[in-house]
Amino acid sequence: MERRLGETPVRDDRSAYASRGVGPDYDDMLHMSLLELKQEGRYRVFQEHRRIVGEFPLSVAVTAEGERVVTVWCSNDYLGMGQHPAVRAAMHDAVDGYGAGAGGTRNISGNHSPIIALESELAALHGKEAALVFGCGYLANLSTLAALGRLLPNCILISDQLNHASMIQGISASRAEKRVFQHNDVLHLEEILRSIPKHRCKVVAFESVYSMDGDIAPIREIVDLCERYGAMTYLDEVHAVGMYGPTGGGVAERDGLADRIHLVQGTLAKAFGVVGGYVAGSAVMIDAIRSHANGFIFTSALPPAVAAGALASIRHLRASDAEREKMHANVRKLRTRLREERIPFLDAASHIVPVMVGDAARCKAVCDLLFERHSIYVQPINYPTVPYGSERLRITASPVHTDRMIDDLATALADVWRDLQLPFARGTV
């Protein structure tokens, strides 16, 4: 039976799962969970890609039928920095100078020079005293919030309703008291803050750009409230670093608020084009996290080549605004073409363009038709990433998508919309 890469074969003969001894049949139980995903249309299929250096956003997709060049419209390498010559050169030089791996955790032998330089650059990017690099952004959020909840006495962690899973899990791991405010609702946040004694430790955790809806938090109003009620601010800028502000410091930098944020968390895996996560703040805060966060202490350091590539990317984007300007211009062009074709999308304030489908099976069908008929690659976004009934495509335009590519995408979406008899928009959603 032919299948796409990453797909688990469906066993039609349930007798194959007959008990082989005493106790539960664990494969059978797990198989049922996979069947449920497939029946709901939520089973995730991983497509093998071979990115073409120097030709982003083109990629070679490897399928059972062979290979084909596709245009990628869902990459988190927002600015194409993963293929930038300066980034690749820095990584080559680091491999030649330091070897492949870091050699251990930071405490043991992995505290290499490129990662020290990277942390210094990240601190400067956000106007902070210090920064700390983790293996990924997920780990940075989880470990830092868990540590804060444990270290700050009688702490209460206050979280936006739509915060990323990494933040939710970090708050849960802290075992501190938790409160949740309605998404971007400063009135509800104030109601919560007002109910907590001012002398009690409070951390308000929120994001700048929310990646599924593309909306941006009212950072100024949240910071005002936190200062009024004595709360610490924890801002996730994962989808904003490199993308906003005169030097790519994020939405807080763009809005002149960076110096009022206590801790900022970011990633090296999106606009900066490599991999890794980090937090930046005061020297004392960063030292405390370095000394207590299990997800930092017990994990190997980023390889020198990755740190060197990230450093080159950040330095380039701090000096160059060309990539950001072109990317935002392409986002505006894309939205214009989607309106012209009456494709329903959320017209949010950020660079993220969510095209709304509203059904998991149809969402996958849209993606399959775009791939098979138009050589356009985009992945369905289904539950639990988004709520049931709000399934969507998450489209991202880079600075190197051409006008022709934008026009082809809009035309292809209209073709697929008609073929699947999906409702067109009267206006934007």
- Bridging pattern class, strands 232-236 and 263-267: parallel
| Amino acid 1: pLDDT | 35
Report CA-CA distances (Å) from 344 to 56, 87, 283, 414.
Answer: 27, 37, 46, 10
pLDDT < 70 regions, the chain: 1-21, 427-429
Active-site residue among 38, 178, 198, 270? Answer: 270
pTM (2 decimals)? 0.91
Residues 6+ apart with CB under 8 A from 132: 119, 140, 278, 279, 280, 286, 289, 290, 296
H helices then E strands: how many in the chain?
14, 14
Residue 116 to residue 213: CA distance in whole angstroms? 35
Active site annotation includes 202: no
Residue 123 to residue 282: CA distance in whole angstroms? 9
Q: Closest Cα to residue 286, out of 426, 106, 114?
A: 106
User: Which tokens hold the place of 126?
Assistant: 């956000």
What pLDDT, in 10s, does the model give residues 108-156? 999 999 999 999 999 999 999 999 999 999 999 999 999 999 999 999 9
| Amino acid 426: pLDDT | 84
User: Which tokens hold the place of 206?
Assistant: 């929120």
What residue has token string 């956003």? 57
Q: In sequence order, what E strands does 324-389 have?
A: 352-356, 376-377, 380-381
**Is residue 307 classed as helix, strand or coil in its secondary structure?**
helix
What pLDDT, in 10s, does the model give residues 286-337? 999 999 999 999 999 999 999 999 999 999 999 999 999 999 999 999 999 9
Residue 120 to residue 212: CA distance in whole angstroms? 31
What pLDDT, in 10s, does the model give residues 7-33? 555 555 544 444 456 788 899 999 999
Q: For residues 338-368, b (16+ Cβ closer than 10 Å) or e, as one string?
A: beebebbbbebebbbbbbbbebbebbbbbbe
Residue 319 to residue 329: CA distance in whole angstroms? 19
Give the chain's radius of gyration (CA, Å). Answer: 23
| Amino acid 243: pLDDT | 98
